[in-house]
A and B are shown apart, each in its own frame.
Chain A
């Protein structure tokens, strides 16, 4: 709050006439540079801030292997439907034990396999018919054999297998979703 005239020492021009042009130019450039700097203080960090979801996983649900049960629960006799539970992250929120999907698990030719219950045609939940020993989709009657191959109906590809892992007698599945309605299995 000084009472000092800050323009003192600058060339005085009377009667409201402007200063000499070069000084005026300098002031204008100064205004541009300082003003730009002031604006940049917010504008520059704002880019990374607003664009954060482009470069970071903001939501996630069970990307890893999810335990579904003991090895002894599964056999070659009939597939068992298991629900997959995982923690779901949504920005600042975490929900524990939400059902993220389900899978059919069975032993086929001595090996454990897991099929996504999501029909590769248009995404209905595939059932198992114990009498005929086939998987049947209730929506458009696609049928799949125990090895997952589409036996009849509109499904463009076999049932989608999920990665499965055995560890210390426990079975774990990695849950994924795939694009529907196309012949290739492409993760979404």
Chain B
């Protein structure tokens, strides 16, 4: 310490910061400002740590946030602290403001202290708003859309909105702008105002309780170091402990599914903005501006002018009833609106369902993100879904000829309803329909079976027999199968081409095991096997192009299209 002091004069520096009298003695109600300084510093540290992993672009914001939250050691905890720390800053800012109002500390000569404080309160809200968008998840995306949308509705707000969001729509520029504002502009602005705030505070000193006489103040005076600082640090520790508790309890901050501009999402702002959201509900159409600009503007104007509006001779609360009543009513209004918003949502079935759905999607997306997200980013995470992967594979290799889920070509059989009794019936009646082989040029081997050669009743029995031949006997009508077998052997012309023993060769495929996943997989690999389509096969062979796993997945995809 002495060594350092000789060189940089640290003792004088520390002394300058710590040597100060607190007239009337150290008090718990002076801690809020210091706790805010602590919270801000902690947010800075946490924010810088998050930026070690967070990547600000539309393609990578969500994926990098999911990575830092779900995979990086301690990521969920640090992100959770930053998230809840932001709520804590809002709460403590309000408490600090209330203590300042109660003490009458906004009055002459501390006007600049008051104004710089109001400026910082605005910055804290701006931090919260800009940070909320950064994860680029459904919640942040849609809630922030509402905020910038409001900006666009006020007169002259449109260019403002475009400036803030970097264009007509949300995109890369929105993120880079919000990021630059969140991590560079706002911290610098807050630090600058805080410097002014503290400088002015040190110039005038703390505003002591109004009911103590001059003598009492002097008599009770305590030094800042260590008496007040101990209380300050104690409050910081309590606040820090509460934050850690909250973070562990909630397991960090929520992360919803990646932003999807094509979806609809129950957009709600963060809880500390809910009162504005609720206020908006009461002013429709052209009146909206009352909720978005006029009321908030008027409140801000009154607060800014407070040092001049308060004409009472001294700081005693009794003389400042009007001011206290105004601020009290303001707080009551905010609390009431917030409560109303919460209660209304809690009673709204559609909202609760929306949130439930969003949570399920979020869980799924974050699970899939662990395999890495494809370069398109964001919602591309859902391509990791095995079913989606198979769907893409189908699109790539099969959809030029086959249709599934209503999409694809019709040069080969359609798979919606594949293998169901209805599908089989329609196929037997008219194989040349576009739904079946009609689109495949030259594939006219299978003859239609009109009603006069096989009645509807007979066909139903044959179809049941075909289902039975697939191998799964649990869901067939035994009696009908027997009947079908008889029809097959005596009346139907099918047996001329189709065998019913496994592996048996015929003009058409054997019906034993036909339509099962394994059978479809064999067709995909090589449809020209003698017990499959043999010489009439037209489909490309995929045995060389796709892995066995891919083929099985495709086969499952096809057969499951019949069970839906």
Contacts and interface: CB of A to CB of B under 8 A. Distances in A.
Contact of A67 (B99, B227, B244, B547): B547
Interface string A125-163: 000000000000000000000000000000000000000
Contact of B74 (A48, A94, A95): A48
Given A38-B233, A41-B240, A28 B226 contact: yes
A1 B219 contact: no
Contacts of B375: 93, 95
Contacts of A92: 55, 60, 63-64, 66-67, 369, 372-373
Contacts of A179: none
Interface in A86-124: 87, 89-96
B544 interface: yes
Contact of A19 (B46, B60, B98, B227): B227
A177 interface: no
B373 A93 contact: yes
Contacts of B27: 5-7
Dominant SS among interface residues on chain B: helix
A103 B21 CA distance: 78
A42 B237 contact: no
B542 interface: no
A38 B66 contact: no
B78 A1 contact: no
B54 to A, nearest CB: 10
A107 B242 CA distance: 68
Contacts of A67: 547
Interface residues of A, number: 45
Contact of B219 (A7, A14, A31): A14
B49 A50 contact: yes
B521 to A, nearest CB: 14
B237 A37 contact: yes
Contacts of B264: none
A41 B25 CA distance: 30
Which of B27, B74, B98, B243 has most chain A Cβ within 10 Å? B74
A19 B26 CA distance: 12
A6 B46 CA distance: 32
B206 interface: no
A26 B58 CA distance: 53
A4 B237 CA distance: 21
Contacts of B233: 30-31, 34-35, 38
A187 interface: no
A48 B81 CA distance: 16
B67 A3 contact: no
Interface residues of B, number: 60
Interface string B374-388: 110100000000000
Interface in B40-81: 42, 45-46, 49, 52-53, 55, 60, 63-64, 66-67, 72-75, 77-78, 81
A96 B375 CA distance: 9
B236 A94 contact: no
Nearest to A38: B240
Main secondary structure of the interface of A (DSSP, over half): mixed
Contacts of A16: 21, 218, 221-223
Given A5-B25, A48-B73, A96-B374, A42 B60 contact: no
A52 B222 contact: no
Nearest to A168: B548
A92 B218 CA distance: 62
B102 interface: yes
B231 interface: yes
Interface string A31-50: 10011011001100110111
Nearest to B52: A50
Contacts of B66: 92
Interface string B504-518: 000000000000000
A42 B40 CA distance: 13
Contacts of A31: 226, 229-230, 233
B73 A95 contact: no
B339 interface: no
A37 B239 CA distance: 12
B284 interface: no
A27 B372 contact: no
Interface string B9-45: 0000000000001001111110000000010001001
Contacts of A71: none
B457 interface: no
Interface in B205-234: 209, 218-223, 226-227, 229-231, 233-234
Contacts of B60: 92-93
B489 interface: no
A53 B75 CA distance: 13
A64 B243 CA distance: 44
Contacts of B95: 1
B241 to A, nearest CB: 8
B29 A2 contact: yes
A45 B78 contact: yes
A1 B102 contact: yes
B371 interface: yes
Contacts of A70: 544
Contacts of B55: 92
A72 to B, nearest CB: 10
15 contacts: A1-B102, A5-B27, A14-B219, A15-B218, A35-B236, A38-B233, A50-B49, A50-B52, A92-B60, A92-B64, A92-B372, A92-B373, A93-B372, A93-B374, A93-B375
Interface of A: 1-7, 12, 14-16, 18-19, 24, 27-28, 30-31, 34-35, 37-38, 41-42, 45-46, 48-52, 55-56, 67, 70, 87, 89-96, 168
Interface of B: 21, 24-29, 38, 42, 45-46, 49, 52-53, 55, 60, 63-64, 66-67, 72-75, 77-78, 81, 95, 98-99, 102, 209, 218-223, 226-227, 229-231, 233-234, 236-237, 240, 243-244, 369, 371-375, 377, 544, 547-548
Given A5-B25, A41-B240, A50-B52, 18 more contacts: A1-B98, A3-B29, A3-B209, A6-B28, A7-B220, A15-B218, A16-B222, A24-B226, A37-B240, A41-B81, A41-B244, A42-B49, A45-B74, A45-B77, A45-B78, A49-B52, A93-B374, A168-B548
The 10 A-B pairs of least Cβ separation, nearest first, read A94-B372, A45-B74, A92-B67, A48-B73, A27-B226, A92-B63, A34-B237, A16-B221, A27-B230, A49-B74
